[in-house]
Each structure stands twice: as structure tokens, then as C-alpha cells.
Amino acid sequence: MIRHLAFLHQHVRELFLKNCSPNIADPDLRRLARAIASLPDRQHEVFRLARFEGLRAEAIAYRLSISEDVANRELVLTLQMIGRSVRRQKRKGW
């Protein structure tokens, strides 16, 4: 149920960001930027820590005061959300 709500939350935010990042010429990069920007706050933080700061699940768990298993699940969920968002945008012709 919570996973479904996270995907729904992202989809709604994505709709508001449809025309964001017009300065990015490559449509695939624009879709990726929109997908990352549309992530719910927690998933966005997990993604930032993992990909931009290079932290592993153990460090993410410590930083967010969650268990390592939860950090791993959040990271998997985040990557799934980004993938679905990019595919959905491509399908809609954004």
C-alpha cells in the first residue's frame, strides 16, 4: 500500500513538472531530471545520498536513522520509481 502511494505521489508531482528543464536539449536527460525531481522527499534524499554523495546503504541508514534493510529497500524503490517515470514519460511523448 505504501509503495503504491509513493508511486502515485511521484506521478502527480511529475505532471506538475511536465515542462521543467527546457534548457536540457537531450530528451532522455530531460526525462531523467524530471523523474528525479518528481521523487517523494524520502526517496529523493536516499537517491541523493547514494548517487551524489556515494554513500552505501549502511551510511544512508545511519544518516537517516533507519535500519540498513530499510535503506536498501528505499534505494531499490527509488530506482524502480525513476525507471517507471522515465518509461511513462517516453510513452506519453514528453
Average pLDDT over residues 80-94: 92
Average pLDDT over residues 70-89: 95
Residues with Cβ within 8 Å of residue 73, at least 6 apart in sequence: none
27-62 confidence digits (pLDDT tens): 999 999 999 999 999 999 999 999 999 999 999 999
Q: How far apart are the first and last CA of the chain?
A: 28
Residues with Cβ within 8 Å of residue 16, at least 6 apart in sequence: none
Q: Grade residue 24 by pLDDT with cuts at 50, 70 and 90.
A: confident
CATH architecture of 26-92: Orthogonal Bundle (1.10)
Residues with Cβ within 8 Å of residue 51, at least 6 apart in sequence: none
The predicted model scores a pTM of 0.82
| Residue type at 30 in one-letter notation | R
Q: Which residue has the higher pLDDT, 55 or 7?
A: 55
